[in-house]
Structure 1
Amino acid sequence: MTTSRPAPDAVPPPGCPAHAGGSAARPAGSPGVERLYGPEFAADPMATFTRLRAHGSVAPVEIAPGVAAWAVIGYDTALEVLRSPDRFSKDPRRWKALADGTVPADSPVVPMMMYRPNALWTDGEEHERLRTVIADSLGRVDPGALREHVERGADVLIDRIGPEGRADLLGEYGAVLPLLVFQRLFGCPEDIGGKLARGMAGVFDADADSERANAVLAEGLAELVALKRRRPGPDVTSWMMAHPHGLTDEEMIHQLVLLLGAGIEAEQNLICNALRLLLSDDRFAGDLAGGSMPVEDALDEVLWNDPPMANYAIHYPIRDEELDGTLVRAGEPMLMSFIAVHGDPALAGDRRVGNRAHLAWGVGPHTCPAKSPARLIATVAVEKLLDRVPDIELAVGADELRWRQGPFNRSLVSLPVRFPPVVPARRSSTDRGGDAEQAPPPAPSVPSGPAPGAGGAGSAHGAPGHWWDSLARWWHGR
């Protein structure tokens, strides 16, 4: 609940709770300011948030060396911020510490927090215009065709790892399948897709290489936009370009940054975190062995306890705001710490299983417009793997798994598993294009209906199955 705000130049009385913990302007690295990065935080983020609860539902944190912010860790306070666009802006141009040079432009978190003219970092009418383009274009994707496409891609990858009897499910399945889906839905050739995946992963890691990764990402997206301007097709990128709102090339690039991050990096985390849970939690073991895979329950629990974007949805107070007794100055970044918000002791009882009141998809005007296809992709990816490899198990103890150390996402470093070798699925020679080493091509067009003036599917880079064939060659090191 928000109370009246003191005048900006007012002197706080001794012991004022709004100033007891300082504001985010307090220098990063000060005693008592917790770090939301590094090996200790990655290994056990809830230990950090448990200590932060002494501050209340809003606490000062450091998200990179020298970069201070607020972590919103209370459920009700997060709802208040997310549902109040008149008080809390998404526009990073309000970030005072970046604007005045306190945070250097080459800080590793800047690529994930910098202003981009896309639906994530805009407000009001501009946000609505950009969001409409995304929602309308994604709305043209047929869910049935999408499911079939994910199943085909999953089969290809399982055929690759199956005979080996062991795999890294992150590097060889969870990270690859969302990339294949993105390439197909967005008409992206595999050479550009690989560049985009590498760039986006580096940006999410928020380390010393983030600035270079951001440059790689920008280069790949510019190539994709230029390609689709020349040769539009029946894909989401072309549909966005053909939308009546008429996006510029720059706007197209930055909408694709948003969709790429959600469609590849966050999707990878959702898939792999769900697989980790299903393979390590005894509550699911009986159901898996009995053939009844509670994948939907596992996804809900992951979205509660290990959400793919653990600390993000950054907002900036438009004016000084007092939240739960803590003063947050205008222009100070506030991260919604979903992983902490969902663990708020104020939430009565165990509300996880079968409950979708989590905030992982966002709330308010910036609710994720792609949550239905994202959930479908993750569900099919997990179901297909467990169906074809029923005796799969972790190759190491669950407590030996390592997590990436960036402040924003909850992502494993790897997910090693073992299983009895699996024979590749039998397919007709027509499906395999007459070559047992080639992956089967999916349907010529997963999305339904071409964009105005679009050419045939895959017209820019050969026949519809071309990139799947290239995937097979790449997978075998050719």
Structure 2
Amino acid sequence: MLASPSKCPVHAYGPGGVARLYGPTAEDDPMGLYEQLRDRHGAVAPVLLHGDLPAWLVLGYRENLDVTRTPSRFSRDSRNWRDLREGKVPPDHPLTPITMWQPICAFADGSVHERWRGAINDSLGRFDRRGVRRHITRFADQLVDGFCAQGTAELVNDFAEHLPMLVMTQLLGMPEDYGPRLVKAARDMIRGTETAVASNEYVQETLRKLVVRKRSDPGPDFTSWLLEHPSQLSDDEVQQHLRLVLIAAFETTANLIANTVRMLLTDPRCRANLAGGHMTLPDAVEQVLWDEPPFTAILGRWATQDTELAGQQIKAGDVLVLGLAAANVDTAIRPDPTAPVHGNRSHLAFSGGAHECPGQDIGRAIADTGIEALLNRLPDVRLAVAEDELTWISSLMSRHLVALPVQFTPQEPNPVVQPETSPQAGPAHGSPEPHLPAADHPAANDSSPHLGSGTRTSWWRSLTRWLRRR
């Protein structure tokens, strides 16, 4: 569960005493900085981005919802950014890969957004969720096979970062061997490093080649379904939306897996609640989405007019950063941020409003199904170092574990089986996928131990066996 936020005495401040959201001081303890800013400024605080570009950090839960639900005041179109129009954000700026306007739904509002977002929603909806979970289990088992005989592993590098990319490359119709390089490039461009622009170019070129190939040789995959959608997206529009889905799914799900496994290994209350039947594995995933959302903040929204937000005077062209992690511990909606939250999905881990993450249920499925497979294979897995030895790396948008070393009784790898030839187990390409009953959907029945890829009995026995060995 969430620990009390720290109160660092000093953080880096720039011109005019405005806090910087970048640099080692801010990134070492983002939650401590958020609470300092909340104490000083309330629900909305002035901050500085890379290069000391001015911005507003939205810390309040209700204020975040206000921003995400009123596109007439706070647009997703980065071309509204005053500093960008004035040439203060050069092409090689660290934030360029995530702020430069692109023909994708994440940078559009109104009817244009509806056209692009509709194509994504319809194409994601064609996947058979049971088939997706079978692929998640297969890839998770493959990763565990790579280290299970050793008795030790490092689960961030060996598991959490690779599983989402393996699954997503399969769903997009890409060869599995694309995964490792895409993991490195995706993580780099999200961090806003000096090589972020080059990493973005690699991802773009990889996806451009995929679109060309799927245009001439379509299959039962997300890329082909976007290309054939009635909204008639151009090749460039398809490429940019593939990048959006791939990067968002990778970053959020990798962090979610690592944070959930860490909580299972280190939090006695969590283990007690699981053992007593008061919490299921999907509940644990949801708790992490409250306490440690995969994206701590999202850049951004741009003010379309002079307006007021929580007493701050926002000018047209100002940029706003959604403080998702800060909003989730806002005492206005969560009086005791250290208390567990069960059966409640009103967190902002996936943002809100019209731009709420469209693939969140697939992300949840990758996390809970992948962790289930891990615990099934390694029933006595345990942390190999003291909890206070774990370290994190933070950036403007995310905070993730550097490593999660574990020990376990060595296990034999699974026998080699032939992989399925399709990323879904529904009807053949060309016909819509059936809508699953609510009980089979990964977003449904999260209060039950049933996880879709196995039975309640097998999951519960494996979890109980793991808990008994703690």
CA contact (8 A) 1:238 1:451 kept: no
Cross-structure match for 1:16: none
Structure 1 position 270, deviation (Å): 1.0
Aligned sequence identity (%): 41
Does residue 98 of structure 1 match 2:84? yes
Distance in 2, matches of 1:63 and 1:83, equals 24
Q: 1:35 aligns with which of 2, 9, 20?
A: 20
Aligned residues: 415
SS at match of 1:107: coil
Structure 1 position 77, deviation (Å): 0.7
Does residue 354 of structure 1 match 2:343? yes
Structure 1 position 87, deviation (Å): 1.4
Tell me which moved more, 135-144 or 340-349: 340-349
- Which letter does structure 2 place at the counterpart of 1:221? L
- Cα distance change on mapping 1:57 and 1:259 into 2, 3 Å: same
Cross-structure match for 1:148: 134
SS at match of 1:417: strand
SS at match of 1:163: coil
Does residue 235 of structure 1 match 2:209? no
CA contact (8 A) 1:109 1:206 kept: yes
Q: Describe how 1:261-340 pairs up with structure 2 within 5 A.
A: 261-286=247-272, 294-312=280-298, 314-340=300-326
Does residue 398 of structure 1 match 2:387? yes
Q: 1:48 aligns with which of 8, 15, 33?
A: 33
- Cα distance change on mapping 1:296 and 1:452 into 2, 3 Å: closer
SS at match of 2:406: strand
Does residue 196 of structure 1 match 2:185? no
Does residue 364 of structure 1 match 2:350? no
Deviations 1:155-203 (A, max 9, x none): 1111111111111111111111111111211110134444433322111
Cross-structure match for 2:169: 183
Q: 2:418 aligns with which of 441, 446, 463?
A: 441
Structure 1 position 313, deviation (Å): 5.3
Distance in 2, matches of 1:141 and 1:214, equals 27
Distance in 2, matches of 1:184 and 1:80, equals 37
SS at match of 2:232: coil
- Which letter does structure 1 place at the counterpart of 2:418? P
- Which letter does structure 2 place at the counterpart of 1:327? Q
Distance in 1, matches of 2:286 and 2:67, equals 23
CA contact (8 A) 2:20 2:52 kept: no
Distance in 2, matches of 1:240 and 1:233, equals 11
Deviations 1:31-57 (A, max 9, x none): 532232333333322110111011111
Structure 1 position 385, deviation (Å): 0.9
Deviations 1:299-345 (A, max 9, x none): 11211121011100511111011111101111111111111011112
Does residue 410 of structure 1 match 2:399? yes
Distance in 1, matches of 2:84 and 2:207, equals 25
Please tell me whether Structure 1 or Structure 2 has the larger radius of gyration of its CA atoms: 1
Distance in 1, matches of 2:89 and 2:283, equals 41
CA contact (8 A) 1:271 1:378 kept: yes
- Which letter does structure 2 place at the counterpart of 1:445? S
Cross-structure match for 2:410: 421
Tell me which moved more, 233-242 or 298-307: 298-307
Deviations 1:397-432 (A, max 9, x none): 33322222321122222222122212223x3xxxx3
Structure 1 position 287, deviation (Å): 5.2
Cross-structure match for 1:118: 104
Cross-structure match for 1:471: none
SS at match of 1:120: helix
RMSD: 2.1
Structure 1 position 288, deviation (Å): 5.9
CA contact (8 A) 1:242 1:451 kept: no
Tell me which moved more, 220-229 or 279-288: 279-288
Distance in 2, matches of 1:313 and 1:211, equals 17
- Which letter does structure 2 place at the counterpart of 1:390? P
Tell me which moved more, 386-395 or 50-59: 386-395
Structure 1 position 293, deviation (Å): 7.2
Cross-structure match for 1:57: 43
Distance in 1, matches of 2:146 and 2:20, equals 40
Distance in 2, matches of 1:337 and 1:149, equals 33
- Which letter does structure 2 place at the counterpart of 1:46? M
CA contact (8 A) 2:324 2:351 kept: no
